Amino acid sequence: MTSNKRVAFLNSSKFWGGGEQWHFRTATLLAQRGLPITFFCYPGSVLQQRLRSHAQITVVPLRVSNLSFLNPVKILFFARLLRSAKIETLIANSPNDIKLAGLSKLFYRGLRLIFRRGQPHPLKNSFINRFLFQRMVNLVIANSQDVRRGLNVKNPQLVPQERIVVIYNGIDVDAFEQRTFNPVVAREDGVWYLGNGGRLVEQKNQKDLLYLSQRLKRDNIRHKLLIAGTGKLEQELKQLAKQLQVDDCVEFVGFLENIKDLLECIDIFVFPSKFEGMSNMLVEALASGTPIVAYDVSSNAEVISADETGFLAPEDDIDRLAKLCKTLIEDTNLRTTFSTRCRQSAHQRFSEQGLLEQVIAQL
């Protein structure tokens, strides 16, 4: 790939999540390599705000709705933007984004179009999707094997297998290890610390954390459960903690800009999510050397090496979740071994620069 290859990103989300983090980091890393980068994003979004500090990236505000692909003016407008910027490769984020980009490609045929998929949900077997993924989209980057398998559940021929590659989420492991932090709590002797981070929503399933705490308390295990994040279920979760009489064991620490503030305080990272594309939080837990106990759902088994960097419990089996946490609590040598293997796994499998090379090879 030549240093002047022109690459653009289209991510029209108003909100910040795992997909936005991947697009932001990938764009900035490519720009650091000297590539001319254009980024189309929602006006006033967190993405736009964060991109403003990167002068080498051209940021273009763009609204994309679920009906934009039906608007010929919007389609032609976007095609002209791509042509005028001489974009050679465009990486799109959401179904709405890929629809607009795919139809714009009808008027800008020289474009290489990549869809980056981070959700495990199947693609709809619609006429527009069959047209896009069989004729317009050159490549799909899935962030896990589980996401790859889910693409064609509704139609085995929807996305040709030869046009799908799996590239995991990565982090700058060295920078993460060197990052300073401010612990969210002062640890007490004789207390075991468990933690979790993420949006307080149904998908992340923090209710099971509270039921886990109830079981640990019933077994007279002194512990503190630290839950980082904000979301619409915050008050409901706090009320449930009171109902289960574990509010003395549970602390909601709010949104953390630096998740290391949490990870450096805990002995075990507990992850009861109902589904994930691929969790950045799990990779950060590995990089911090924190053993993990999670449900065996979606791509978790691809990130967690079972019985080496953590334990996997059957989905919704809170008793098993509690038993595995107790196993780690009771075995100091096992925790130390898992911690060492966590850091090794982060370096060997999820190094940001190594995964970036895989992206570059697809541009």
Beta partners for residue 260, in sequence order: none
* 86 φψ region: left (φ > 0), alpha (ψ -120 to 50), beta (else): left
Token pair in block for residue 36: 């001319």
By three-state DSSP, how is residue 215 classified? helix
Amino acid 17: pLDDT: 86
Q: Which CATH class is domain 174-349?
A: alpha beta
272 neighbors 240 (Cβ within 8 angstroms): no
Cβ burial 103-113 (10 Å sphere, 16+ → b, else e): bbbeebeebbb
- As a whole number of angstroms, the distance between CA 22 and CA 33 comes to 17
In this prediction, residue 3 carries a pLDDT of 58
The answer to whether the predicted template modeling score (pTM) of the entire model surpasses 0.85 is yes
Start-end of CATH 3.40.50.2000 domains in the chain: 7-167, 174-349
What is the reported pLDDT for 1? 46
Q: Residue 4's pLDDT is what? A: 77
- For the chain, which ranges sit under pLDDT 70? 1-3
Q: How many CB atoms lie within 10 A of CB 204?
A: 25
At the second CATH level, the architecture of 7-167 is 3-Layer(aba) Sandwich (3.40)
